[in-house]
Amino acid sequence: MNMQLQRFTVRYYLLIAVFIILTATLIYSPLHVSADVSQPSSDSFQTAVFTELETNLIDLGSDTYKDSSLSLARGESLSDLLQDTGISSLEAFDITDSLGSIIDMRRIQAGQIVNLRQTSGGRIQEVSLPVSFDRTVTARWSSHGWLSSEQLSDIFPVPTVVSARVESSLFQAAKDSGIPLSIMMEAIGLFSFEVDFQRDIQPGNNVVLLYEKLQNVDGENMAAGELLYAGMELDDRNVEAWRYERLDGTVEYYEESGDSVRKALLKTPVDGARISSGFGFRNIPALGFTGLHRGIDFAVRIGTPVMVAGDGEVIIAGWHKLYGYRVMVRHANQYDTMYAHFSRIATGILTGVRVEQGQVIGYSGNTGNSTGPHCHYEVHYYGKPVNPSTLKFPPGHKLEGDDMNLFTLERRALIAEFNLQ
C-alpha cells in the first residue's frame, strides 16, 4: 500500500466518523427530530419517534384528513362508488373484500351511507358504513393492508307508554301522537285477529301502547324496540295483547287469560280491505237470482296481495268457471278457507304445498263470474260455509303452568309500573 492511498483512507475514515457524530447529534436533539424523521434509518429509536409523531399528526390535525359522506345510488355498487373517488378497481376490490369479511355485501342497498376519510393527497384511509342505528362497519388502511372491524354502540331500551285517541284511523292516531309507524303496524297486526276495523272502531276509541324506545348513551332516540303491550277500548269490549317470552324462548302476544292473540285464522285475508258484501242471503246479479252468499267480499284494487288466513296445505289452486282463479287451503281443526276471483295465483302455490299464516297466495282480481274487482273469501267448518266475521277462532296457543304464572306476574308488574289499567 503506498503512502498516498494510506492518507486518503485515513481522511476517509475521519469523514465517516464526523458524519456519524453529526448524524447522532441531529437525531438526539429534539429540535431537529422533525428534520430527520424522513431519513431512512435502522435506528429503532428514530423509528419510534417517527411513529409517535405521525400518530400525533393524525390525532391533532383534523385538517390533515378530509372526511366526506356519500350515499349509494340505485344500481351503484360500493366498488363503483370507491372507484369514482379515483382509486383503482383492485384497491376498491380489496376494500369491499375486507368489509365483506364482516357483513354480507349483497345486502348493502341503494341509499347506504358511505363515510370516507382521505389524506390531503386524496388517498383513502378509511371507509365506514353505518349499517344500522347501532352498528357501523369500518375498513381501515394499515401496514397489513385493509382491515375491517365493527363498532357497536350501547343502546338502552326505555319502556314508554303512549295513549292515542282514534279520530279517523289508527295510522292517523299514530302520526298525531308520535307513535312510530312500525309499532302501530305491529299493534294493528295483533288487533286484526280480534277486531273488524270497518265496524268495531269508532271515533274516540282509545289505543294504549307500551313500547321500548331504543336510546343511546346521550338519551337520543335511535329506533323503536319491542311492543310490550297494546290495548284498545272499543264501544262494547276491550282488546289487549301482552308480549311474553315463554320459558322455551318463544315470543308471542297473549290475552290476560293466557290465550295467544294470534288465532288459527285471520279475520281479514287482505290488507286495507272494505267489506262490499257480507255473508248471507242476497241478490246476486251476476247469477240472476237471490241466494246464499257463502263468503265475504272484500273490495280491493286488482293486484292487492291476498294472504292465507292460517297455516295449512293448499288443496285447490287453479281455474274455476265461477270463481275464476282460486285457491283453497285446508287448516287444522276442520277448517278450510277459499279465496276467489284472483287476477293471478302466486308463484309456487300448487296443490299439496304447505303455506304459513299471512303468506301471499295470490293477487285479487275480477276473474270468473265476478261483477267487479274484489276478493271473495269463504271459511268452511266441517265442509260447510260459515260466517267468518262472527266466528270465534281457536287461539294459536294457550299458556299453562309455570308460563302462565310468570306471565301473570310480569303483566301485573307492567300494569303497576305504567298504570295501564
How would DSSP label each residue in 266-334?
Answer: -S-SBTT-EEEE-SEEEEETTTTEEEEE-SEEEE--TT-EEE-SSSEEEEEEEEETTTEEEEEEE-STT
* CB nearer Zn ion, residue 162 or residue 284: 284
Binding mask 193-222 for Zn ion (x = CB under 5 A): ------------------------------
Q: Quick one: CA torsion of 309, 312, 315, 316, rounded to 10 degrees?
A: 30
Question: Of 186, 297, 378, 403, which one interacts with Zn ion (CB under 5 A)?
Answer: 297
String of contacts with Zn ion for each residue 252-291, x by CB under 5 A: ----------------------------------------
Minimum gap (Å) between residue 279 Cβ and Zn ion: 9
Please state the closest distance from residue 291 (CB atom) to Zn ion, in A.
Answer: 11
For Zn ion, give the closer residue by CB, 129 or 273. Answer: 273
Contact 295, 279 (CB under 8 A): yes
| Distance of closest approach, residue 293 Cβ to Zn ion, in angstroms | 6
Cβ closest to Zn ion, residue 98 vs residue 364 = 364
Selected from 376, 379, 399, 411, the binder of Zn ion by CB under 5 A is 376
Closer CB to Zn ion, residue 373 or residue 395? 373
Buried b (16+ CB within 10 A) or exposed e, 168-206: eebeebbeeeebbeebbebbbbbbbbbbbbeebbeeebe
- Which residue's CB comes closest to Zn ion? 376
Task: Choose the binding region for Zn ion from 86-94, 148-156, 295-303, 316-324 (rule: CB under 5 A).
Answer: 295-303
Distance (Å, whole) CA 71 – CA 106: 16
Q: What is the H or E stretch that residue 417 is in?
A: helix 401-418
Q: How far is the CB of 277 from Zn ion (least distance, A)?
A: 6
Query: Taking the complex as a whole, how short is the minimal distance between the CB of residue 285 and Zn ion, in angstroms?
Result: 12
CB of 310 to Zn ion, least distance (A): 20
Min. distance of Cβ 377 from Zn ion in angstroms? 8
Residue 183: which of 226, 239, 243 has the closest Cα? 226
Strand ranges for 24-152 from DSSP E: 65-71, 113-119, 124-132, 135-142, 145-152
Task: Decide whether 376 or 380 has the Cβ nearer to Zn ion.
Answer: 376
Binding residues for Zn ion (CB under 5 A): 297, 376
